[in-house]
């Protein structure tokens, strides 16, 4: 199941990055406000793809209304975004041993920190979506 999650979420990340690139690099939405809006739109596009793919292929049907799943998926994703941002910052500023140039790799320290943060957050996202976003519906009738 985790492998399916990584594939679905990896495709969603690709949509996120391609959408952002299209908006700020190709279409020129690159002043500070436009860039921030481009990144936000790209995040939402990637999140939508992640929801659709993970709902269809990774997790068992929950029996809950899709609106509830979308709401919970969004909340889990926003927390994941915060975790990714914070951990990328901490990896970049606090763990200099983790930078690629220390190992002779041709990757910018920012990219290394970002990759590590995404990997770190993947575990949170998998379990949070499993137990929050796509949790089974509760029984409508009491057992007694």
Query: Could you count the other beta carbons within 10 Å of the beta carbon of residue 1?
Result: 11
Instruction: With respect to residue 144, please indicate whether it lies within any of the assigned structural domains.
Output: no
Residue 112 tokens read as: 């290394």
Based on the domain organization, do 54 and 70 belong to the same domain? no
Q: In this predicted structure, what is the pLDDT of residue 143?
A: 44
pLDDT tens across the length of the chain (144 residues): 999 999 999 999 889 888 988 988 889 887 778 887 888 888 889 999 999 999 999 999 999 999 999 999 999 999 988 888 888 888 878 765 555 556 666 666 767 777 788 888 889 999 999 999 999 988 545 445
Based on the domain organization, do 48 and 10 belong to the same domain? yes
Based on the domain organization, do 77 and 48 belong to the same domain? no
Based on the domain organization, do 32 and 86 belong to the same domain? no
Q: Which of 58, 82, 105 is the last residue of a domain?
A: 58
Find the angle CA(106)-CA(112)-CA(114) to the nearest 5 degrees. 145
Instruction: With respect to residue 143, please indicate whether it lies within any of the assigned structural domains.
Output: no
Distance (Å, whole) CA 89 – CA 83: 10
E-strand ranges in the chain read none
Based on the domain organization, do 28 and 93 belong to the same domain? no
- List all residues 6 or more positions away from 135 whose beta carbon is below 8 Å from its beta carbon: 62, 64, 72
Based on the domain organization, do 9 and 50 belong to the same domain? yes
Instruction: With respect to residue 142, please indicate whether it lies within any of the assigned structural domains.
Output: no
Find the angle CA(112)-CA(37)-CA(43) to the nearest 5 degrees. 50
Based on the domain organization, do 100 and 66 belong to the same domain? yes
Whether pTM exceeds 0.85? no
Of 47, 58, 110, the C-alpha closest to 80 is 47
Based on the domain organization, do 27 and 53 belong to the same domain? yes
Query: Could you count the other beta carbons within 10 Å of the beta carbon of residue 90?
Result: 15
Q: Range of 87's domain?
A: 62-137
Q: In this predicted structure, what is the pLDDT of residue 55?
A: 95
Instruction: With respect to residue 12, please indicate whether it lies within any of the assigned structural domains.
Output: yes
Q: In this predicted structure, what is the pLDDT of residue 66?
A: 92
Query: How many structural domains is the chain composed of?
Result: 2
Based on the domain organization, do 77 and 125 belong to the same domain? yes
Distance (Å, whole) CA 50 – CA 70: 11
Q: Are 132 and 80 in contact (CB under 8 A)?
A: no
Determine the angle formed by the axes of helices 66-94 and 109-128, rounding to 10 degrees: 150
């Amino acid at each position: 199941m985790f492998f399916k999650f990584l594939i679905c979420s990896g495709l969603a990340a690709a949509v996120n990055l391609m959408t952002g690139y299209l908006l700020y690099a190709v279409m020129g939405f690159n002043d500070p406000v436009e860039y921030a809006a481009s990144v936000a739109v790209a995040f939402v596009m990637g999140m939508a793809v992640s929801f659709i793919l993970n709902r269809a292929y990774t997790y068992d049907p929950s029996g809950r209304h899709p609106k509830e799943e979308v709401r919970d998926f969004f909340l889990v994703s926003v927390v994941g975004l915060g975790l990714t941002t914070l951990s990328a910052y901490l990896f970049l500023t606090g763990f200099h041993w983790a930078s690629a140039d220390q190992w002779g790799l041709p990757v910018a320290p920012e990219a290394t920190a970002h990759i590590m943060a995404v990997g770190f957050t993947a575990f949170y996202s998998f379990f949070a979506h499993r137990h929050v976003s796509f949790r089974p519906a509760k029984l409508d009738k009491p057992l007694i």
